[in-house]
Amino acid sequence: PPAAAAPAPAQTTLSTAVKPALSLPDLGGILSTKASSSSAPSSTALGFAKQGIAYNDVTMANSFKKACGDKCGWFYNWGSSSGGASSDAQYIPMLWGDLPVHTGHWDSDAEKALSNGAKAMLSFNEPDMPSQANMPPAQAVAAHAQYFSKYKGRAQIGSPAVSNSGAPGQGLEWLKSFVDGCNTNPDCHIDFCAVHWYSEARYQDTLFKHLKDASDICQGKAIWLTEFAPTDPAGDTTSISNFIKDVVPKLDALDYVHAYSYFMVAQPTLMTSATGLSIVGQAYAAIAN
């Protein structure tokens, strides 16, 4: 399971601490993206399918993997130990923040993940947000260099994952500061950038603008969308399911998007029980078959 709660302002890796405080970005300059007509699993150069499973409860994660089939190629849980995730998909470890509760077991967990076949690693969770890893870009650059430099060449290394907040110093503005700082630090290395997105389903085009803007900031590096979901009321399963059916093929069609994971495999979002999928969960899994 994920690590226990850390003292404020950095929070636990549990899902209750993952949801960002929303500040919507500018809706102008929307980029539309055509969906792929193919239903085959979309994979990347890393050799696993793009679609991911974000979880805290490993029983639910493994149940969802069975329903999702071959298109679900990877797991992550905001932590560095899988807790028993199925070997049928890659477990990708994350270093949530730079406090000792996270860093103390990072190297041993990372080595275990690599020995189990992990081909990528995820850096800090929303350091742009005070309620999450809460790290200024310069601090994140130094910590990222300290904890990830030794893995360069052994795994694809992600940037810290940022929100889609439009507030000053947050979201992509934070990411740009990080990338600029990383470029001047010889020990700081990233192979891809990680971003999150939350908004109403009707603003789905802003997701693709967010991804394109992130790609530009990251100088053409691959993008991982490690959290995304519409913020519509949970009971509006029709709108949310339609959003998933619209968005996932578009993500599969984008060459520079190498991975994505919907937020998240848990009750009541994608699951109704340890083994039962919700209507929305069925939509996310059905696309994979």
Whether 62 is in a domain gets the answer yes
Q: For residue 36, what pLDDT is reported?
A: 32
What does the block give as tokens for 87?
A: 């070997």
Q: For residue 42, what pLDDT is reported?
A: 61
Q: For residue 28, what pLDDT is reported?
A: 30
What does the block give as tokens for 222?
A: 């691959």
Whether 30 is in a domain gets the answer no
Whether 241 is in a domain gets the answer yes
Q: For residue 30, what pLDDT is reported?
A: 26
Q: How many structural domains are present in the chain?
A: 1
Whether 139 is in a domain gets the answer yes
CA distance between the termini of the chain: 28
Q: Can you give the residue range of the structural domain that contains 93?
A: 47-286
Task: Answer yes or no: are the C-beta atoms of 219 and 249 closer than 8 Å.
Answer: no
Q: For residue 11, what pLDDT is reported?
A: 30
Task: Answer yes or no: are the C-beta atoms of 53 and 82 closer than 8 Å.
Answer: no
What CATH number did the domain enclosing 203 receive?
3.20.20.80
- Between the alpha carbon of residue 254 and those of residues 32, 221, 248, 279, the distances in Å are 12, 13, 10, 26
Whether 41 is in a domain gets the answer no
Whether 5 is in a domain gets the answer no
Whether 6 is in a domain gets the answer no
Task: Answer yes or no: are the C-beta atoms of 29 and 51 closer than 8 Å.
Answer: no
Whether 7 is in a domain gets the answer no
| One pLDDT digit (tens) per residue for the chain, 289 residues | 333 332 222 233 333 334 433 333 332 322 222 333 334 456 566 789 999 999 999 999 999 999 999 989 999 999 999 999 999 999 999 999 999 999 999 999 999 999 999 999 999 999 999 999 999 999 999 999 999 999 999 999 999 999 999 999 999 999 999 999 999 999 999 999 999 999 999 999 999 999 999 999 999 999 999 999 999 999 999 999 999 999 999 999 999 999 999 999 999 999 999 999 999 999 999 854 3
